[in-house]
Structure 1
Amino acid sequence: MRNMGNADQELIRRVLAGEKDAYGLLVSAHSEAVFRVAYRITENEADADEVVQETFLRGYRALDRFDSRANFKTWIYRIGVNCALDARKARQKAGAVAIAEEFEEEQVAVQLADREAGPERILLDREIEGRRRKAMERMTESERTAFVLRHMEGSSMEEIAAVLGVEPNTAKQAVFRAVQKLRRSLAPLWVKA
């Protein structure tokens, strides 16, 4: 079985040789991962869907400038992260409140209720989610991206550094700062033994 990087390289070669349909295979292979990252950055399903479309459109337009020595996944993640951050800024600038987020909170409560959680647990879970969201909002773009990639996607520091366009040590510091902000936000909820 071929390495995914080699398979990606072959698909890119085919697209650049004029086989435009081969790009669809790249989209299929990577769109779910780009969606997850976009959703975690934007915290909005509709925005994440738009980010995926914009990411692969930009990727297609820039494919002739792709460095064949690079990893396509890292390259498309970087485009996706930039698109997600742009979407988040646009939503914040417009002052829009996403209706989908309200439904998401209700879904969390329903899911917890389905697991026969008591009212105290449901309230605590809502409080934790609210504090997590606020902590994520206080993170810089690089901290938020680094945190999402490391703790939600399981990316290595080298991959995070490549997506952010920084040195691995700088990526590590961004993850550390993000975790510290999250810990400070959740600290009041910790029960002391």
Structure 2
Amino acid sequence: MMSKTQINIDIVSDVVCPWCVIGYGRLKAALANFYTKFDINIVWHPYELNPNMPKEGENLRQHLSKKYGTTLEGSIRARAMLTEEGRKVGFKFNYFDEMKMLNTHQCHQLLHWAKESDFQNQLAEAFFEHFFSNRGTFTEPELIHIVGKVGLNTEQAQSVLANNSCTEEVKLSEAHWHRNGIHGVPLFIFNSEKALSGAQEVATFENVLNQYLK
């Protein structure tokens, strides 16, 4: 039997970034035709869009208004557009008026901790779904529940959060991306050599993957 070509895909992302959800959904759609050809390994890397966000969060519309000058009308249009783009990749955006922008540092600690398991990808997907589809927040009990739901050890996860044991690694990783000129997400890197920034179309991902066919 011929061995498959190894494809490593690094994704730099934040779990409250809607374009990260859409970009990842489009990547998955592209990968659907390549699993018989490639041995695909996906690793998620942290990028906090709002590292100074307080734990209680901030109303999402107020946050976007202050940060980007987004108007109420613009917010309504953007949510409708994102909801439609999500639907196209099988993801449900469930926006609501009281939705908050949240601090995601603990999520990234858990994703870093999960990197050595077979469940990091499932955990990233579960965080997206929890925040955008299920109107969840990132309290510690909610995070631990999600960890258990995807099959990871909840006691170890509690220890990670209680001791902030992955904080330094998360900060070092984020500093690496900033030093390399990354100022927005998502970013998709193929085999440490080809990078795509933003929520690219399915065909764009397919074009990159085709370059690795033997």
Q: Give the TM-score band, short-chain normalised.
A: under 0.3
User: Whose strand fraction is larger, Structure 1's or Structure 2's?
Assistant: 2
Q: TM-score, normalised by structure 1?
A: 0.28
More helix as a share of residues: 1
